[in-house]
């Protein structure tokens, strides 16, 4: 099966009422772990690469590895996604390489640190949408700033009215919103509840934008058992909490179709490697520790696929060629401007 459109993948998820995990990759073993999990659970999947991953692995290496995953697993629908594109040029380069989906994170300026204005975000995201849709490529936008409520304050939480305006003006296929999650392991210093994780905002946005695919970033759950394995074998992780799976499932019931997971997989890999090197310090063959590391990540991914509801849905549909997706955008078959419900 060729790489498929993320728009098709998310549309099917909406029909089925489930979410789809989007898992970050940097190397071959991570890609293999994701595909092992997808095959085991019969799940469609989004494989995504950040700007840092593209630089680390070199673009062509990473792209060819994901192409190989598609060829070796023809029964699994795979969308290849650029995570957190910081500029039109970043997204354009991914599209030219063959990515079937891109995220334009216009919530920040090109430095990836400075918050942009709403109009700046709209302008650059709309530019990416126009370029991408002409080529059948899905676009995810972002409004609000990730970082965690505890650190950044409520001014960074997505405003539902602005979410509606942003979706209408840009025509994005998917919208990442800020509800208090953050990237990395250290998200919360206590188990998150309604005071730090604003699920009410997510629900309000879904009510206003019932046909817009919502995205949860920073959604690793950072399980204590994975933290404990790292620390047992020489690590020094501080106690921390991630996003509870039940909160993600609440999001899925309220319009979330794409769920980004990275940290959980990093913890699984690191713990497995530490265990091998701690217990058998004479080992030096990378295969001796990368094989259990790959298996540990596979288990986490397979669990998340089951928890998000995407398991057993790989064979529900046949992929629509990207050229046909492009025609759908052009003739309006694939709507990009949302149905907006009243307040």
148 pLDDT above the threshold of 60: no
Q: Tell me what pLDDT residue 149 has.
A: 35
**Kind of pairing, strands 20-24 and 45-50?**
parallel
In the chain, the domains with their CATH numbers are 6-220+240-261+294-327 (3.20.20.70)
Structure letter (DSSP) for residue 154: G
In whole angstroms, what is the distance from residue 303 CA to residue 257 CA? 17
Give the pLDDT band of residue 150 (cuts 50, 70, 90).
Answer: very low
Which segments of 58-198 does DSSP mark as H helices, in order?
A: 59-72, 88-97, 118-133, 149-152, 160-170
Q: How far apart are CA 13 and CA 255, in angstroms?
A: 10
Residue 175 token pair: 């919208």
Are 125 and 131 in contact, with CB atoms under 8 Å apart? no
- Please report where in the chains the tokens 């995953």 appear, as a residue: 69
Q: How far is 298 from 182, CA to CA, in rounded Å?
A: 23
Q: How far apart are CA 286 and CA 269, in angstroms?
A: 13
CA 69 distance to own-chain centroid: 18
> What residues are annotated to the active site?
83
Tokens of 170: 């840009």
Are 36 and 76 in contact by the 8 Å Cβ rule? The answer is no
Question: In 3-state terms, what secondary structure has residue 241?
Answer: strand
Side-chain half-sphere of 141: how many Cα atoms within 13 Å? 33
Backbone angles phi, psi at 66, to 5 degrees: -70, -35
156 vs 179: CA distance, rounded Å: 8
Q: What percent of the chain is predicted at pLDDT more than 90?
A: 81
pLDDT computed for residue 194 by the predictor: 63
Q: Is residue 122 scored above 80 in pLDDT?
A: yes
What would the pLDDT profile of 75-115 be if each residue is shown by its tens digit? 999 999 999 999 999 999 999 999 999 999 999 899 888 88
Q: Which residues contact 221 (CB under 8 A, 6 or more apart)?
A: 242, 243, 244, 245, 248, 264
* Per-residue pLDDT band at 153 (split at 50, 70, 90): very low
- The residue among 242, 221, 244 whose CA lies nearest residue 301 is 221
Share of the chain above pLDDT 70, in %: 91
Closest CA to 331 of 136, 184, 183: 136
- Mean local confidence (pLDDT), 131-139: 98
Query: Does an H or E element contain 83, and which?
Result: strand 78-85
- C-beta separation of 300 from 262 below 8 A: no
Give 246-291 as a DSSP string.
Answer: HHHHHHHTTTEEEEEE-HHHHHHHHHHHHHHHHH-TT---HHHHHH
Residue 123 phi, psi dihedral angles, 5° rounding? -65, -50
**CB–CB of 214/206 below 8 Å?**
yes
The pLDDT tens digits of the residues spanning 237-256 come to: 998 888 999 999 999 999 99
255 near 209, Cβ under 8 Å? yes
């Amino acid at each position: 099966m060729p790489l498929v459109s993320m728009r098709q993948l998310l549309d099917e998820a909406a029909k089925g009422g489930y979410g789809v995990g989007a898992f970050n990759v940097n190397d071959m073993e991570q890609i293999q772990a994701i595909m092992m999990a997808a095959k085991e659970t019969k799940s469609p999947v989004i494989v995504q690469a950040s700007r840092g991953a593209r630089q680390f692995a070199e673009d062509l290496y990473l792209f060819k590895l994901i192409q190989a995953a598609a060829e070796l697993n023809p029964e699994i629908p795979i969308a290849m996604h650029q995570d957190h594109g910081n500029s039109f040029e970043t997204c354009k380069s991914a599209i030219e390489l063959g990515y079937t989906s891109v995220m334009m994170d216009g919530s920040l300026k090109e430095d990836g640190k400075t918050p942009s204005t709403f109009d700046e975000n709209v302008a650059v995201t709309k530019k990416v949408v126009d370029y991408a849709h002409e080529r059948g490529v899905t676009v995810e936008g972002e409004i609000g700033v990730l970082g965690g409520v505890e650190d950044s304050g409520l001014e960074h939480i997505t405003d539902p009215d602005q979410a509606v305006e942003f979706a209408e003006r840009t025509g994005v296929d998917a919208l990442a919103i800020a509800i208090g999650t953050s990237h990395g392991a250290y998200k919360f210093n206590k188990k998150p509840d309604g005071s730090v994780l604003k699920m009410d905002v997510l629900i309000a946005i879904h009510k206003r934008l019932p046909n817009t695919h919502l995205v949860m970033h920073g959604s690793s759950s950072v399980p204590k058992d994975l933290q404990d394995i790292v620390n047992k074998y020489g690590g020094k992780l501080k106690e921390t909490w991630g996003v509870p799976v039940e909160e993600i499932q609440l999001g899925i019931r309220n319009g979330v179709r794409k769920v980004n997971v990275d940290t959980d997989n990093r913890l699984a890999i690191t713990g497995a490697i530490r265990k091998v090197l701690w217990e058998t310090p004479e080992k030096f063959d990378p295969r001796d520790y990368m094989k259990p590391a790959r298996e540990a990540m596979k288990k986490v991914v397979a669990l998340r696929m089951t928890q998000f509801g995407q398991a057993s849905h790989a064979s529900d549909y046949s992929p629509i060629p990207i050229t046909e997706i492009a025609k759908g955008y052009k003739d309006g078959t694939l709507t990009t401007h949302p149905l907006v419900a009243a307040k």
